[in-house]
Amino acid sequence: MKLTILINLMTWLVIAIAAASAQSGSNPVLDTTGKPLRRGVKYYIKPAITDNGGRFTLVNGTQWCQLYAGQEIDSRGKGFPVTFEPLAKGEEVIRESRDLKITFSSITICIKSTTWQMEGMRDSVSGRRLIGTGSSGKASNYFRIVKQSGFDDGIYNIGWCPAEFCNVCRFDCGFVGAVVKNVRI
C-alpha cells in the first residue's frame, strides 16, 4: 500500500515538474525593438502587412457601449495601446503560446472593462467570432500570442485557445483576424 502511494506521488511529481518546465521554457514574445513584452506595459498592436489597415483600436457596435476590438482603417491611425496580463500569477514576461488577457489602455464613456473577450456570436458575413470587451474572468478573456512559423523577424498571431485556463475543456480555437464593417476593419 505504501509503495503504491509512493509510486503515485513520484509519478505525479515527475509529471508536475515536466509540465512546469515546458511552460517556463516558452520563448518570450518580442516587441519591434527585440525586447520581451512585459506585464502591464503599454504596447500598440499593428499588422505585419502595413498596407492592410492600422493599429488596433476600439470600434463601436450597433448598441450603446457595445465595444469591439478592431483595426484602424489605414496605417496613419494611432489606435489604442494594450496591456498584457499573463494567466500565470507572478509571471512578468509575456511568453509565446501562453494564456493571457489583453486590455485596451484607454478611457471610454462606458462604465465597463476594455479587456478583450471572445464573443459567442459570429459575424453574419464572414462567420468569424467577434472580440468584444468586458471582463468575465472566464475562459473567454484569455488569448495567446503565437509566433508565425517560417518567419524570423518577429511576426506573431493572436489566437484564442485558453487551454491553460481549462486544460480539460474543448474550445473552438482560432486566430484573430479583421472583419470589415461600415468602413472600419
Cell of 68: 469591439
The residues spanned by each domain of the chain are 28-175
How many other CB atoms are there within 10 angstroms of residue 51's CB atom? 7
pLDDT of 183 strictly over 70: no
Element containing residue 18 per DSSP (H, E): helix 2-24
Spatial contact of 42 and 81, defined as CB atoms under 8 Å apart: yes
Q: Which segment of 103-107, 139-143, 147-151 scores lowest on mean pLDDT?
A: 147-151
Give the span between the Cα atoms of 101 and 78, in whole angstroms.
22
Per-residue pLDDT tens digits for 156-182? 999 999 999 999 999 888 888 765 555
Per-residue pLDDT tens digits for 53-106? 889 999 888 788 889 898 888 788 789 999 999 999 999 999 999 999 999 999
CATH number of 28-175: 2.80.10.50
**Rg (the chain; Cα; Å):** 19
Give the span between the Cα atoms of 117 and 17, in whole angstroms.
31
The more confident residue out of 121 and 115 is 115
* Nearest Cα to Cα of residue 97 among 28, 18, 11: 28
pLDDT at residue 10 in the model: 37
Per-residue pLDDT tens digits for 32-63? 999 999 999 999 998 877 667 889 999 888 78
pLDDT at residue 9 in the model: 37
pLDDT at residue 44 in the model: 95
Instruction: Give the end-to-end CA distance of the chain in Å, rounded to a whole number.
Output: 63
How many other CB atoms are there within 10 angstroms of residue 136's CB atom? 10
User: What is the model's pTM?
Assistant: 0.80
The more confident residue out of 108 and 179 is 108
pLDDT of 16 strictly over 50: no
Cβ-count burial 56-76 (b if 16+ within 10 Å, e if not): bbbbbeeeeebbbbbbbeeee
pLDDT at residue 150 in the model: 75
